[in-house]
Structure 1
Amino acid sequence: MSARADNADLRLTAKGHAAGVISSSRWRHFSDTKAQLDSLRELLESHSSGSQSWIAKGLPVRNDTHRRNAFDLLASSSITTSTLLPLIPALASYSPVLLARMDIEGTYAPYITQQTSTAASMVRDEELKLPGDLDYESISGLSFEEKRALERVRPESVGMARRVEGVTPTGALRVAVYVKGIGRRRERESMVKESVEGMGISEEGLAVA
């Protein structure tokens, strides 16, 4: 989502400049464009309101308790910088090309946020240990081939599971979610046990109760 043709200049020009392959004139043009895009986004983000306020201004916003800034609104296919122009007159100081680029940035923003969050989660899960007796048959969503491959290899961590031939990234993610669920259940059970013991109630007494 972040590596798109429309933002290639923003992603690659700085690297090209660092490598010494970008001319001075192109670098100045890039720097000016980036500064204007940053300024435009800051302008949009500075206008924040609750749903009722946006709706009262005629915008098709979901009626909930969330506050949204004007940049957030661009995620909706029915809202563009042109839609927002009557509400934010300062947008008129930016070129149509820059406004169109910001429309695209706003459209992709939620997906990029989700992509970044997923990638960060995958990095955190890389070292997550897998029980040696993990029952892969109990993990919903794993294909037959993935279950057989994991049972055969018995990876020690989620990172190793991702590298098992036949296991998809989605399959490895399902394993991580399942194992973290086991950990949360055990933690809750431990807290309940400690609470019960603190009240001086035996497990037998709790069962009778």
Structure 2
Amino acid sequence: ATGTYLKGKIIIGTCTYSGGPIGQRSAEDLSGSLVKAGLKLMRFKTGTPARVDRRTLRTDEMAKQEGDKDGHAFSFLSERKDRNKECCWLTFTNEETHKIIRDNLDRAPMCNGIITGIGPRYCPSIESKIVRFADKKRHQLFIEPEGESTEEMYVQGMSTSMPADVQYAFLRTIPGLEDVKIMRPGYAIEYDCLDPTQLTPWLETKKISGLFSAGQANGTSGYEEAAAQGLMAGINAALKVQGREPFILTRSEAYIGVLIDDLVTKGTNEPYRIMTSRSEYRLILRQDNADLRLTQKGYDLGLVTQERYDRFTAKKKAIEEGIAALRAISVTPSKANLEKLERLGTAPIHTAITAYDLLRRNDVDYEALRTVFDLPELAADVEEEIEIMIKYEGYISRQMEQVEKMNRLEQKKMPTDIVYADIDTLSAEARQKLDEIRPLSLGQASRISGVSPADITALLIVLEQHSREEKNHVSQ
């Protein structure tokens, strides 16, 4: 889990030196050791904006961006409601900002050949934005607090590796930053990382048994991506020591599953970041149902406390009982019920329906139904989950059908001793890619870049033949 410290090189203008973020030393010798052991490395680059002093900002010249009033937390156990008392500030670059950057492009490591690593396409430096989007008159910036106990503010949207004097010059053209003081200049960092197709779906290197890799060392970018991989690699390293089967989350179970499957199956040619658009099952991978999807798995692994598990099971039971209560209440078109519906501000009914059906309507929520019908009072998160499950039931059902179709392919396991080079019906590219990645299932094989539907059909035939041979062998 070396992150960007693996042979890291910090770049600020023409100044370059070995090192990692936050003034830490880089790991200089590990890359050579990994290559010597037969692993393939890539060279990536990422950048960061300047950190500026909150006390030097003119916040009255920027637009205030309040936090979420509901105070959602990552943990379902959290009771804190004051998480978002800090706020961000919105401001914009302008033509003067862009002119200073253009006039100094010869001093930009991105443009003068100092930087050779591949950077993230979705998060370009400000100098790259000015060149690539020359028609844009301004770019938005979010001034974000680094934490509650520091005066450092993060200039989101202005990643740069230009010299510090140029950073000062263009920052001070921005509304609200005219008097800004830089606490840490922005910089680029080049670093080594593994080609992630060398990893199993449980993040163990295929060539070296017992060596697990996680985080930016696997070609990702971002804190959440690194944390997710660290969790999964740690779980699987522990399971390996215990002699237990690996733990794998599928693409339909978690974004962690999408992240790792993308990396080990497709690889990446730039720092990878998980986005909702990368998931074909994003309708069922929601923030609100993360506990319903994953708590049981965590408990089975021994990673969820009894307190947390008890709260989870209580919530799950409350959801089930709430849905049952909605199904049990029949609403007839009586005068009293029609008056109730009018009070709810929803259309009248002409035949009997259930409260469950009423909740499908966009203009009806659980709390409103509860005020006019005999429904149990539920916690806010339980009500929210019931509403989502009922209102989007049709869409969710269709997505679950897609999951079932893919699961049938996932259940067709590829033999570990299969020799792809001997399968003449596969294309040359498919034989090469399949031999390199060694997919665990036909489903994983279908997601490999370069493996066509015709190749999957060929593999289906091979699997059928292999299954028949195994049955004949057993009967003999």
Structure-1-length-normalised TM-score: 0.49
Structure ID, larger Rg: 2
TM norm structure 2: 0.23
